[in-house]
Amino acid sequence: MTGGRLNGVDAEREAQLLFRVIDTISAGLDLRRMLQGVATLVTETTATDVCFVHLLDEKGRVLRLHGATPPFDGLVGEIELAVGEGVSGWVAEHGEPVVISDDKNADPRYRYIPALRGEEFTSMLSVPIVTPLGHLVGVLNVHTRARREFTGADVELLRTVAGLVAGAIENARLHRRLAEREEALESFAERIVEWQERESRRLAGEIHDGISQRIVSLFFHLSAAADAIPGSPELAAEQVARAQELAGAALDETRSAIAGLRPPVLDDLGLAASLESLGHGFPTLDVQVDANTLSMAEHAETAVYRTAQEALQNAAKHADARSVQIRLYRQQDRAVLEVTDDGSGFDAAAAPAAGTPGPTGFGLSGMRERAELLGGRLELTSAPGHGTTVRLSIPYLPSAQY
């Protein structure tokens, strides 16, 4: 050792290491490649034998190996340590570096991991990877086969490297989250377009097969009535009566098609009263409604109404429920709908696979998509024999802000 630095590395070589680390972390946002490059630079420049980079998971409970020099690079993603477990776990928990010169097994913090072949290495230095704001993101370790007395200057150099890496890790993670959100939004937009296309085809089919055919028949009956008026008033009256029946049927089908887009009852009664009216449409259920009067945008009201409708449909048809409680209320900046039944219940973990579309065209998966579209969330609480609660929570904003 000379100058109190790693294996006699002078200030110029330290600066070279830091510059090369900066170049590596600036080259791109591929986290794995960046950490592999940093680990290699550290071992090359500090004359250590192996380097491991463990990153803290999103919940801050587990350290996972994300970067390693050969021959351990193949273990990336496979090695995990709980915070507080082993030397790395201790460093993560306490935020302080650890130096072990020899006899690691005598240190109570050390944990032997066969895949990492700790018996081949004598000395180690472990430092926390901390952002400038003090957020722990992981732990960086170096090991040597020969015995090594790591000094305070050694520790500070590794901590400096770790600090540079910490900022890059945060940036890479933020970039990844942004990319995942953009991908999710694109996927969701595609599903919305597909749904709109299905709805357009459904409406076109209903209009063509039902309403338009009735209107054509109505035209012929009215034409026959007009021709029959001079010579056969009775026949004319019969044709007019038939035309009235067709007009009534066409009107019913038109209303049904429109209701598939937005229930007219929402415009007539408002959301709270519409939920009361919806409950009356399920005679096999004792539906109790406790709904506050909330003023929301039309599409938000439709989402709440359709969610309640689908939940009631499931309670009546699949859960063999007898009673259902519907609650609609405001919770700070959220509008919350809760539909609770006393039915047979189901395994909530299997809900996505069990999302069967109902008469409204939306099953459980559809309800979730509606909630996500509004920036909200749909939660299911259920267990066999214990009923089901569907909880929809969406942002509550004045209509103009939707």
Terminal Cα distance for the chain, rounded: 67
| Strand ranges across the sheet with 136-144 | 80-82, 62-68, 50-56, 136-144, 123-130, 98-100
Average pLDDT over every residue of 107-133: 91
Who has greater pLDDT, 362 or 177?
Answer: 177
Give pTM, 2 decimals.
Answer: 0.46
- Average pLDDT of span 220-234: 73
Distance CA(398)–CA(402), nearest Å, equals 7
Beta strands (DSSP E) in 244-365 are 286-291, 323-331, 334-341
Q: Could you report the per-residue pLDDT of 8-66, keeping only the tens digit for each? A: 446 666 666 666 667 666 666 567 777 887 888 888 878 899 999 998 887 888 999 98
- pLDDT per residue over 332-384, tens digit each? 889 999 999 999 887 766 654 434 444 333 467 777 877 887 788 999 898 88
- Top-ranked range on mean pLDDT: pick from 130-134, 240-244, 396-400: 130-134
pLDDT in tens, 377-387: 999 898 888 89
Candidates 141, 190, 161; CA nearest to 20 is 161
The per-residue pLDDT for 46 is: 81
pLDDT of residue 83: 92
Q: Which residues of 59-75 are buried (b: 16+ CB within 10 A; e: fewer)?
A: eeebbbbbbbbeebeee
Task: Say yes or no to pLDDT of 4 above 50.
Answer: no
Q: Give me the pLDDT at residue 192, please.
A: 63
Query: What pairs with residue 142 in β-bridges?
Result: 51, 125
pLDDT at residue 399, rounded to an integer: 60
Q: Under the phi-then-psi rule, with left for phi > 0, alpha for psi from -120 to 50, and beta for the rest, what region is 270?
A: left
